Amino acid sequence: MKPVAIFRHYPTEGPGYFATFLDRRSIPWRLVAIDAGAPVPADPGAFSGLAFMGGPMSVNDDLPWISPALALVRAAVERNIPVLGHCLGGQLIAKALGGSVGRNPVKEIGWGEVSVADSATARAWFGDVKRFLSFHWHGETFSLPPGAERILSSPHCANQAYALGKHLGMQCHVEMTADMVREWGAQGADEIAAALASPAVQTAEAMRTGLDGKVADLNAVADRLYTQWTAGLAT
């Protein structure tokens, strides 16, 4: 099988639990470290799927890798190679496919409940899960690209995930590990302090409360999503 390309846009926002999932199922993957200067591949055909991780930048920023990444997403979708986006990655896919990205009404930082839509498409991705506690760290959000269906929402962000055939874009972070939560909380102390007026922002201490159990529950949801996504990988 061709490898899954995993695009990392910032050093601390790597594949996390997604890599663990792929390794457990012996699905090969290759890290494309955009943050370290790796070029965006021009041809998606070398990969069975494309997965885009998060990052503190905006997809509306004038960064040299964004335009090639948007083109790569469009080329992959045209060739029926599945794409997967986490937070910034979900925004990138949405913009590539005709959606827009702009400021969310409030910042979401920390743990918050999300609700699964009552639809056949949502059930295909989430099974019997109706709601779960996910991790968030964003100030922007996406509109749904044409043809996509909303499958996840939260009180503070209407579009938490969308599906378009075998493609999945998420605003929330289902890829988290306990170490990532601790590291983001420590490194993002200034951003947290500046945003505590938001009803959707937690302190780093609150993020760590019951951390192992929260991460285990989130991993179980991620297993369901990633299983559905990898079922569509190109051969």
| Cβ-count burial 52-67 (b if 16+ within 10 Å, e if not) | bbbbbebbeeeeebbe
Whether the CB-CB separation of 111 and 154 falls below 8 Å is answered with: no
Using a 10 angstrom Cβ sphere, with 0-12 exposed, 13-18 middle and 19 or more buried, the burial of residue 15 is buried
Residue type, 56: P
Beta-carbon contacts of 112 under 8 Å, excluding residues fewer than 6 positions away, are 133, 134, 136, 154, 155, 156, 200
Active-site residue flag, 175: yes
Active-site residue, from 9, 86, 87, 156? 87
Q: Are strands 149-154 and 4-8 parallel, antiparallel or unpaired?
A: unpaired
CA 136 centroid distance within chain? 10
Catalytic residue numbers read 87, 173, 175
